[in-house]
Amino acid sequence: MIIDEQAEFRSLLMHHVTTHWPDAIISAYDPTEAGHLPEEFSGAGNDLILLGSQHGEERDGIEVLRQFVNREGFPPVVYFGTEEDESAARRLAPDAHFIRNHINHKSLVVGLSDVLLARRRVASTNSLFVGDMRTGIHPLIKGYRFIRRLGATEHSGVYLAERESTHLQVVLKVLRQSSANEDSIGAFDRFLQEYETIAEMDHPNIVRIYDLGVADNHAHIAMEYLNGGDLRNQIDHGVTEKDAVDYLRQIASALSAVHRKGVLHRDLKPGNIMLRADNSIALIDFGLAKRARLESEITDKGEIFGTPYYMSPEQGHGNGVDERSDIYSLGVIFYEMLTGKKPYKADTAMGIIYLHANAPVPLLPARFAQYQVLINMMLAKNPDDRLQTAAEIEEWL
């Protein structure tokens, strides 16, 4: 979570983080627009709090830093202050400290990595994954034989496993609510909301959910194992024109189903699009999904989610989004599938966000000219000028 008044500074930090950790989920909070965080704010659900020194006229960064570092169970705090408040900040001893106007990418990444490593060492005394994994038995999750770990975070682990009753290979995502202080906006609730969102979908191009289990402070989701890799890897190796159009059709069909449920994906990118062995597409990772018809209990005004390369102009500027924002993201992906390049690139996240809002819609190479009209309709700057529904993409094709 990035907290600072200045949008440019928030975007700068977001760029540094996503450059090194491209799958990071970032919430960018403006205390002057969204209101100062209350004393009871626990930071639950965050691995790191990146706290800037600018908080408007009513509060200063040192005051907020003091509020955070004195909270038991609060996530690690990295403070970005000024030369004037450096002494005061060091006395409060945040987990890391940088001068906001002199940030070096390498030193920042090393500093954040050290903080995360220290946190993992502390967490290891209360680890999510216990027992001898070599035996294939997980003491918390019964009925599954573990094959190998696919990934892990502080809150969850992802494993390839086999369901013992059917011998079906599945991806098992296990989450532990590790802190008694976590409240309704914590990672546990995010996890359950993600399951509930996907479980409502019954579509061939959305990952299948087989099982949900909850016991004490643990939960797990068993979902389809997609062994074809992700679309990001496919793009890196080159996507044929035929496959690009076919993938676009499948993703648009899945988005139509998602949007009919009143849900926005909000983080559509090649890394969240997986392939099966038969070359069919499946959308995954609805952790950022938000019901369009409901006010989210997890997000607050002023947060920016997602990856700048695929953000619509309205999402990048923290404005309200609807299904047309997902259509824009899909337009970026289609352009990248055809050309192997992202339509907009810049040295900073802020620069990318600016180009999405102001640069002309990119031209496709001449051999793909027949798709230029579709690209224009998907990447229009004004949502009113875009295709209005994902179904229209299918109709156009």
308 touches 320 (CB < 8 A): no
Tokens at residue 90, please? 């060091």
* Three-state secondary structure call for residue 116: helix
258 touches 266 (CB < 8 A): no
Going across the sheet that includes 169-176, the strands are: 144-152, 156-163, 169-176, 218-224, 209-215
* Three-state secondary structure call for residue 230: strand
Tokens at residue 167, please? 């011998």
Find the DSSP H helices in 278-371.
313-316, 323-339, 349-358
| C-alpha to C-alpha distance for 317 and 303, rounded to whole angstroms | 10
Catalytic residue from among 47, 95, 267, 326: 267
Q: Is 267 a catalytic residue?
A: yes
| C-alpha to C-alpha distance for 174 and 130, rounded to whole angstroms | 12
| C-alpha to C-alpha distance for 156 and 144, rounded to whole angstroms | 17
Q: Which residue numbers are catalytic?
A: 267
